[in-house]
Amino acid sequence: MRIALGLSYRGCAYQGWQSQPGGATVQDRLEHALREFTGAPVRVMCAGRTDAGVHALQQVVHFDSPVRRAAQSWVRGLNTFLPADISVLWSREPGEDFHAQKSAQSRRYRYLLVQHPVRPALLHGLVGWTHHALDAQAMREAAAQLLGSHDFSAFRASSCQARSPCKTVHAIDIELAPDGRTWSFDFHANAFLHHMVRNIMGCLVAVGSAGRDPQWIGQVLRARQRSLAAPTFMPDGLYFAGPAYAAQWQIPESPRELPRLLA
């Protein structure tokens, strides 16, 4: 029986999503909880792997269960065996043809960035930080050049395992909160390359702080050379907002809002 789960997690304590020998990943912790709950080894597949320190508002996974449980039992039972910074939000039985990764039509990420002379101690690990004043219009002009289907090799990590660097970016929305110092960058694409959002963030901050002209990011994109782009930005403020699926799978829509403390 194929089961789909929605997860949220705080990535500070983990070496990313994907299982590693040391066991300090979100996948390792979830599979340990599944083994405890079902009494059998279970392997899971996620919608989008996250790096060390990256968080998730709604990660979607699927697995083939050796036992049958009520939907709410999957939630409460697994949360009993999970650490406090990982939670199962819901469970579904979407059918054997559902695949958390391959059935996803698009994915969203949000980057939360604080602009302040001093690093934000209480939100350490949960937000990115810059001491530079940022120009919203310049960053929006730069981001507009990334919309559509392109070869994103210039924003791809050397360790990226994606078969193709070509992705389609549907939207990049940049907003400054009323507090005048908290920025949100929302990315929507069919899929993302390894470090793609963080590499784009590095370039947008370089433009926003007047270090680069907005047209520079288009030149970097067309050159397809990672060495010409800005350094990879910190993972702290990056949130996997979740995937989108066709209605037939009956997967809950990913949340659009961050927790109130961060918003």
Query: pLDDT digits over 86-136, tens only?
Result: 999 999 999 999 999 999 999 999 999 999 999 999 999 999 999 999 999
Sign, CA dihedral 220-224-227-232, equals positive
Distance CA 241, CA 262 (A): 14
Catalytic residue among 51, 64, 85, 186: 51
Report which secondary-structure segment, H or E, holds 176: strand 166-176
The domains of the chain are located at: 2-103, 106-240
Name the residue among 142, 13, 150 with its Cα closest to residue 82. 13
Summarised one tens digit per residue, pLDDT across range 127-176 is 999 999 999 999 999 999 999 999 999 999 988 888 999 999 999 999 99
Distance CA 16, CA 23 (A): 11
Same fold for the pair 2-103 and 106-240: yes
pLDDT at 259 over 80: no
pLDDT at 261 over 70: no
Helices in 99-165 by DSSP H: which ranges? 136-144
Helix or strand or coil: residue 115?
strand
Confidence of residue 232 (pLDDT cuts 50, 70, 90): very high
Confidence of residue 210 (pLDDT cuts 50, 70, 90): confident
Which residues in 216-240 are b (16+ Cβ under 10 Å) and which e? bbbebbeeeebeebbebbbbbbbbb
Structure tokens at 255: 């949340």
Confidence of residue 254 (pLDDT cuts 50, 70, 90): confident
Residue 98 and residue 2 in contact, taking contact as beta carbons nearer than 8 Å: yes
Confidence of residue 257 (pLDDT cuts 50, 70, 90): low
- pLDDT at position 57 is 94
- Domain 106-240: top CATH class: alpha beta
pLDDT at 179 over 70: yes
**CATH code for the domain defined by 2-103:** 3.30.70.580
Name the residue among 248, 194, 168, 146 with its Cα closest to residue 48. 194
Those residues whose C-beta lies under 8 Å from the C-beta of residue 89, and which sit 6 or more positions away, are 5, 6, 7, 8, 58, 75, 252
Comparing 31-45, 128-142, 177-191, 245-259, the range with the smallest average pLDDT is: 245-259
Residue 212 and residue 220 in contact, taking contact as beta carbons nearer than 8 Å: no
- pLDDT at position 262 is 60
- pLDDT at position 263 is 52
Q: What are phi and psi of 143, to 5 degrees?
A: -65, -35
pLDDT at 260 over 70: no
Name the residue among 61, 58, 13, 12 with its Cα closest to residue 34. 61
Summarised one tens digit per residue, pLDDT across range 20-78 is 888 899 999 999 999 999 999 999 999 999 999 999 999 999 999 999 999 999 999 99
Concerning whether 51 is annotated as a catalytic residue, the answer is yes
Those residues whose C-beta lies under 8 Å from the C-beta of residue 180, and which sit 6 or more positions away, are none
| pTM > 0.85 | yes
